[in-house]
Chains A and B, each alone.
Chain A
Amino acid sequence: MSRKFEPSEFLSPVAKNMPPSGIRKFFDIVNEMEDAISLGVGEPDFVTPWHIRSAGIDALKDGHTYYTSNWGLKELREEISKMNERKYGVKYNPSDEIFISVGGSEAVDGAIRALVASGDEVLVPEPCFVCYNPCVKLAGGIPVPIVTKMEDNFKLTAKALKEKITDKTKLLILSYPNNPTGAIMTLEDLREIADVLKDTNIMVISDEIYSELTYDNKHASISQFPEMRDRTIVINGFSKSYAMTGWRMGYAMGHKDIIAAMIKIHQYAIMSAPTISQYAALEAVKNGDEDIEMMKKEYNMRRRVLVDGLNRLGLKCFEPFGAFYVFPDISSTGLTSDEFCNQLLEKEKVAVIPGNAFGECGEGFVRISYAYSLNDIKKALKKIESFLKGLRG
């Protein structure tokens, strides 16, 4: 008698042991709930500006339906190179130091796979975007969390960094402006990090996908320091700045030897990024500056209203100056992050994300997105107020 076929037995240990998203159940409940105000999104509420969509449509009409070069459209890389030099003063050669990826996500994964060997330690400041740790593990690396704290405005400090460096440390993943905290790091802050790293052999992946959404100071990149430029891979993209999440457009910039390795992985796994999206992205980078300004202004207004509102409700909220998230401290309610989110959803139909989804040190916090209309944000604040009153009972 033949044995029953169990597909799950054939999974690789890494794939099998990878934990599923911690908030899958929560997501399912919110999805089913009618009239829930979900402040849990990680993408802009703006639709891609029309002139960019139009460029995509024109590309379709003109029959651009074939593969592009593995590296991506030459003109797109050239425009990105020009833009980066104009905005941040760092020059990357469009022929061999920039390539176009399927979203910033593919570039982050590719950079990790290009750099991390089995047993390498990768420093990941937390709370952080959920993809870094799984990608590091998939590449055979060991993620080493570094706790960032509210009292430091969730910046990575030189002290915290130094404490976690060992002789196995290969890579540091920096992500500022930060998801989920909204924290930013100024050039001075990054100088301190660069000073720690300069006497080591540690490489840096700098995920700067929210670079265009900063509200006080201009965005700073660790690649702006000449001694860091060659050992930093800068990841950026079009999703957040131009509201192009669904187009899947990102890029990596770095030293040609690293990019060459990343291109090898990219060409075998992906071939090339979507062609139509690349034509749309070209229009975005050439003519999209005003769109960014308009969206930033709107986000900034919402940010102020949300931070002010939360502080008034007694939920201590440090003022974030980047991305479109706030990360208030909910520990004063006596509830855990999971309890707070489940009860808020149940009682007031408002969904926010528990901070521990982004790392253990996120416990006691929640992530609230302000990629929503001002009216929705104000409605949500009233409901949160009502919820808190109910708790104090």
Chain B
Amino acid sequence: MKLTNEILSILEKDSKLSYEEIAVMTGSDTETVEKIITELEEKKVIFGYKALVNWDKIENDKVTAYIELNVTPEQGLGFEKVAENIIKEYPQVKSVTLMSGGFDLLVEIDGNNMKEIALFVAEKISPLNCIVSTRTHFVLRKYKQDGVVLNDKNKDERRVISL
């Protein structure tokens, strides 16, 4: 269990590491690490590997939005059905999360520009039967994402050699 958690922590930070490298880092062996990771993938504990891309460095126009949805869940069906429908109908939606607090679902979506996203919300999301209200927030600048600081300017202040 401890080794499994260690491996997961390591992969969360850098999923490009080989089984061998992870084995060295954890003091284990390659075979065991491969076995554990394969099992985690099969059970969907690890449900994907993706590169973290900072699109601002390539295209200036791409926009990310977070949309708060207030939902009246259908009788006997709860929020599951609403989430399922959004996921099924709109593959451009990046994430759908059920939240506690002042609204029900949080949807993350990328678009080519703000107008495109605003129109998507107005024409596709708002009219859905279960949607009571929406509130759209546009991302202006990302400082840190998925544990990684973008544009990290931190310089090592230590003396280069200390005995």
A interface residues, Cβ below 8 angstroms from B: 21, 23, 26-27, 30-31, 36, 38, 40-43, 45, 129-130, 179, 300-301, 304-305, 308, 351, 353, 357-358, 374
Contact = CB atoms under 8 A, between A and B. Distances in A.
B161 to A, nearest CB: 4
Given A353-B163, A357-B163, A43 B158 contact: yes
Interface centre among A40, A130, A300 (most CB of B within 10 A): A40
A31 B160 contact: yes
B25 interface: yes
A281 B105 CA distance: 45
Contact of A301 (B26, B156, B158, B161): B26
B25 A27 contact: no
B24 A45 contact: no
A296 B161 CA distance: 22
Contacts of A30: 160-161
Nearest to B13: A374
Contacts of B158: 41, 43, 45
B162 interface: yes
B159 interface: yes
Interface of B: 10, 21, 24-27, 156, 158-163
A130 B163 CA distance: 7
B139 to A, nearest CB: 27
A321 B25 CA distance: 15
Contact of A40 (B10, B21, B162): B162
Contacts of B25: 301, 304-305, 374
Nearest to B156: A45
A120 B158 CA distance: 37
A27 B156 CA distance: 16
B27 A36 contact: no
A351 B24 contact: no
A130 B160 CA distance: 17
15 contacts: A26-B161, A30-B160, A30-B161, A40-B160, A40-B161, A41-B159, A41-B162, A42-B162, A45-B156, A129-B163, A130-B163, A300-B27, A301-B26, A304-B27, A305-B24
Contacts of A358: 163
Nearest to B158: A41
Contact of A27 (B10, B26, B160): B160
Nearest to A131: B163
A274 to B, nearest CB: 19
A131 to B, nearest CB: 8
Contacts of A43: 158, 162
Contacts of B156: 45
Per CB-CB distance, the 8 closest pairs between chain A and chain B, nearest first, are A40-B161, A42-B162, A38-B160, A301-B25, A308-B24, A30-B160, A27-B161, A130-B163
B24 A353 contact: no
Contacts of B26: 301, 304
Contacts of A179: 163
B24 A23 contact: no
Given A40-B162, A41-B162, 19 more contacts: A21-B163, A30-B160, A31-B160, A38-B161, A40-B160, A42-B163, A45-B156, A45-B158, A129-B163, A130-B163, A179-B163, A304-B26, A305-B21, A305-B24, A305-B25, A308-B24, A353-B161, A358-B163, A374-B25
